[in-house]
Amino acid sequence: MDYYTTEDHKHLYRERRGMILGVFQGLANWSGLPVGLLRVIGIILIFAVGFTPMVIAYLGSALLLPLR
């Protein structure tokens, strides 16, 4: 369920109600894609790219994106 107006979709934020730091939930709200799909893509990328680079990218995103 989307609680925000379409104007909120113009900016990328971390979500407070996300699972782990809210990065994928924020990406889902911004892009309009299902959060489950983005999480599956993230898991696939862990195996394709490697665990350490993905953790660094995820934590970097969590630090750089403002919290909504």
Distance, in Å, from the CA atom of 37 to the CA atom of 68, rounded to the nearest integer, reads 21
Q: What is the pTM of this model?
A: 0.79
Per the domain annotation, does 61 fall within a domain?
yes
pLDDT at 4 over 70: no
Residue 1 belongs to a domain = no
Instruction: Look at residue 39 and tell me if it is in a domain.
Output: yes
Q: Does 35 fall in a domain?
A: yes
pLDDT of residue 6: 55
Question: What angle in degrees, to the nearest 10, is found between the helix axes of 23-31 and 35-49?
Answer: 120
Return the closest-CA partner of residue 2 out of 42, 23, 31. Answer: 31
Residue 4 forms part of a structural domain: no
User: What does the pLDDT read at residue 8?
Assistant: 54
Q: Is residue 26 part of a domain?
A: yes
Question: Is 38 a member of any domain?
Answer: yes
Domain count, the chain: 1
Cβ-Cβ contacts under 8 Å for 31 (sequence gap 6 or more):
38
Asked if residue 15 belongs to a domain, the reply is: no
| 9-55 pLDDT per residue, tens | 578 888 888 888 999 999 999 999 999 999 999 999 999 999 999 99
Cα angle, residue 57 at apex, residues 35 and 53 outer, rounded to 5°: 115
Domain that holds residue 40: 21-68
